[in-house]
Homo-oligomer: A and B are copies of this chain.
Amino acid sequence: MDLKERLNQILEALRQRGHRITPQRMAVLKILAESKNHPSVESIYQQVRQDFPTTSLATIYKTVTLLKEIGQVLELGFADWGSRYDGNKPFPHPHIICTKCGAIVDPDYASMQEITREMARKSGFAISHHRLDFFGLCPKCQSG
């Protein structure tokens, strides 16, 4: 999805609910709207500080939490490496995670809907979303 378009979606969702667009918040939104690298809170913090040096970690957390609540960011919680965020594709989708360098990429994969339907039928659950992660070494780390 086009970054500017995605950013506008997020802005619109915030405005609809009466939330304000501050410079710090805008900086976070921009990072999350691209977020091809699925950044951590700490990573977002470091980036935002380049433009707004007084920004606090708490502000990043508050913004990310808000976006989570209104469904504008997808949280990937890992037991060992903390959470990573995807604001570009905030809906459930597969990920491939490099266990060495921590890179997270989105493979293209379409048939999850079929699998989800099959799961629901067999289990009796009313399935609302899913999460599928593959772990391994990315091409770069395989030669390291």
A-to-B contact residues, CB < 8 Å: 75-80, 83, 94, 96, 98-99, 105, 107-109, 116, 118-120, 122-139, 142
B134–A107 CB distance below 8 A: no
Q: How many copies does the complex hold?
A: 2
Per a CB cutoff under 8 Å, which of B80, B118, B129, B134 touches A125?
A: B134
A133–B136 CB distance below 8 A: no
Of all chain B residues, the one with the shortest Cβ separation from A107 is B123
B129–A135 CB distance below 8 A: yes
Question: Nearest Cβ in chain B — how far from A113, in angstroms?
Answer: 12
B129–A132 CB distance below 8 A: no
Question: Nearest Cβ in chain B — how far from A111, in angstroms?
Answer: 8
